[in-house]
Amino acid sequence: MGMLKNMYTKPGKGVKKTDVSSSFGFKRFFSTFADKFWKLSILNLLFFVVNCPLFALFAYLAGVGGVPYQTPVNVLFQPLYGVMRHGGSHALQSLYGVVGIQIEHHYPSAVTNALLWIGLLTLVTFGMASAAMTYVQRNFVRREPVDLAEDFFLCIKRNWKQSVLLGLFDIFFVFLIAFDLVSYVYSSRSFGMLVMLYATAFLSAIYLMMRPYMYLMCVTFDIKLTRIIKNAWILAVSGILRNLFFGVLALAVLALNAVMMMFIPSLGVGMLFIFTVSLAWFFQIYGAWPVVKKHMIDPYYEESAPVSSEDEAVFRDRG
């Protein structure tokens, strides 16, 4: 990992010597979490403000603006209807009462098509919002002063090009592994398919642990996207125990929100927009940042010339 020490350029506040020498144990985790909890809630709202096109996509999926029409539920409706056109009976009438149940669908209109195109803007905004949230939470972990709105939107302004590319890659890969997992789950239970299912599940877990590292490097170092992905793989494996622990905490938050969505939908929706996304991501960032510091920052600090002040930055970040 020594080659990673050269991956820094852009001006910024940088990482201080005091941050390099600090620990990131449970005591610091709980104190940081308690101190920043309400700011995490505001950060969650900022994330959805930037990703506001997502609401148009939800409206499109809900059929808002579509032209309604009735369609039968049962596939036997059409043959039964054809039989009844040539004569009926009480038995057929009774069967028609069961098979002929219809539900309402919507076919697209100009409004729904507009909602779809607006919703697709999420492909652009997702990476920017994720990078900005990562930058602010990284500073939470480093115990640096943070102006939420200013730092959030300043990060978007400075890193929007690479963060958009990273967001597109992230969305594509998450969709790909989700599609593969569902396909293997519902495919035949042959030995080969089971091997592919478990292999895909393992690679999916590794990728989910890579995600916080990718966004951390995006906002911290000036390096190419291909190198970000490669380094994220190395770091995810290097800190796998820490990643698993904080990853489980993040999954617990998401699972709690999913349960609330099932049993108390209004509360579940409120949790999602108030703190769930930011809280789950904070757990992962807290788990990932010490690994980045150990393998990408500490080696540079140890090999560089002595600094004259504790507040002098040992490298320049992209924030």
Phi first, then psi: what are they for 35, rounded to 5°? -75, -30
Sequence-ordered strand ranges (E) for the chain: 67-72, 102-107
- The whole-number pLDDT of residue 301 equals 66
- The whole-number pLDDT of residue 183 equals 86
> Of 5, 224, 12, which Cα lies nearest the Cα of 138?
12
3-class SS of residue 21: coil
- The whole-number pLDDT of residue 65 equals 81
Write a three-state SS string for 245-306: HHHHHHHHHHHHHHHHHHHCHHHHHHHHHHHHHHHHHHHHHHHHHHHHHHHHHHHHHHHCCC
Note every long-range contact of 270-273, with CB atoms under 8 Å and residues 24 or more positions apart, other chains counting.
273/44, 273/45, 273/48
Domain ranges of the chain: 2-62+113-303, 71-104
- The whole-number pLDDT of residue 313 equals 46
- Which sign, positive or negative, has the C-alpha torsion 124, 179, 213, 282? positive
- The whole-number pLDDT of residue 7 equals 39
Q: How far apart are CA 99 and CA 76, in angstroms?
A: 7
- The whole-number pLDDT of residue 77 equals 72
- The whole-number pLDDT of residue 28 equals 86
pTM of the model: 0.81
- The whole-number pLDDT of residue 5 equals 36
Task: Please list the rounded mean pLDDT of every run of 10 residues in the chain (319 residues).
Answer: 39 48 75 91 96 92 80 72 68 70 77 92 96 96 91 94 96 92 81 86 93 96 92 93 94 94 91 94 95 85 54 51
- Say if CB 10 and CB 305 are below 8 A apart: no
